[in-house]
Amino acid sequence: MPCLPPWLSWDNVGTLLNSAFTTSLVGALAGAFAGARAAQHVAERAKENEQILTQIRTTNAAITASFSICNILLSLKKQHTKPLYETFVAKKAELKAFHQMRRAGQIPQDQPFKCTADFSAPQMPLLPIDVLQRLVFEKLSVLGRPLALTISLAGVSASLADLMQKRATLVEQFKHLPPNAEDVLAALYFGHPFAEGRVSTEYADTLEALFNQTDDGIFFSQLLCKDLMESSEKALAAYKKRAKKTAEHIISVDFNLALETGLMPDESKYQDWLRGVQSSSSPGEAAASK
């Protein structure tokens, strides 16, 4: 048994432990510990709330960037790529009918096809791809499809720039053909045989790719808007249960006009892509639901 100092007996120790002072001291220590834990919990919850709000606000910025990309590409399609491509397809059908009539002897063999080529040169629009990438990859905690869509949009932007430059180069070559080379121009423009069976489909392929890439950019950007809106709406709804009152809101975008005017690409073209890349919620949304 341990030896106590002469002035401190076991009876005195028992009395001290059962005294009001000791009880108050233990209670105060327990209260301080509980208060510290409560304060820590409040601080952690406040930090989580601020992180979720930051995610919601950053998501709004990403939605705005993606919607801007979509709008720019819709304008590009309406003003340039759609008229260019549809006129090209119609004129190509005219050339096919012309060749059939010439083979049937309905028109002279030496009669050239009057090729009405569109030599307009649309410029590559400035797309806020860099802004979108910084928001999605550096600021947002998103997983799955939004990341794939952002990567796809960056690829579309680069491809569109290359295709426009390639088309401009081909147009310049066409402009330097001799005035009496209408058959050659028609063959090069529409991808038909010329000069002993030679065929060049470079212009036709470039124009078709330009049309399709514009559609891809429109589809990916509008889908990214929808994914970000859905994820952020869920996060905001869960956050309101935690914070009760908030002035935060999610930016809402509408693509009905594009659908009504036939500018929105058919989703069926992208079924393989959609099956390969599934949508996913963000960690911010998951945190908000705790």
User: What is the count of structural domains for the chain?
Assistant: 1
**Residue 141 in 3-state DSSP?**
coil
Per-residue model confidence as pLDDT tens for the chain (290 residues)? 555 555 455 555 556 556 665 566 555 555 554 555 555 555 555 566 677 787 888 889 999 999 999 999 999 999 999 999 999 999 989 888 988 898 888 888 888 777 788 898 888 999 999 999 999 999 887 888 999 999 999 999 999 999 999 999 999 999 998 888 888 888 899 988 876 778 889 999 999 999 999 999 999 999 999 999 988 787 777 767 766 666 667 788 889 999 999 999 999 999 999 988 876 554 444 444 44
Q: Does 131 reside within a domain?
A: yes
Q: What angle do CA 158, 164, 165 make, to 5 degrees?
A: 90
pLDDT at 167: 96
Q: Does 1 reside within a domain?
A: no
pLDDT at 45: 59
For residue 89, how many other CB atoms are within 10 A of its CB? 14
Domain extent for 276:
11-288
Q: Does 4 reside within a domain?
A: no
Phi, psi of 255 (to 5 degrees): -110, 15
pLDDT at 283: 43
Candidates 235, 223, 194, 222; CA nearest to 54 is 235
Q: Does 96 reside within a domain?
A: yes
The residues facing 194 across adjacent strands are: 198
Q: Does 203 reside within a domain?
A: yes
| 250 within 8 A of 232, measured Cβ to Cβ | yes
Q: Does 60 reside within a domain?
A: yes
For residue 79, how many other CB atoms are within 10 A of its CB? 12
Structure tokens at 94: 């005219």
Q: Does 3 reside within a domain?
A: no
pTM score above 0.85 = no
Q: Does 182 reside within a domain?
A: yes
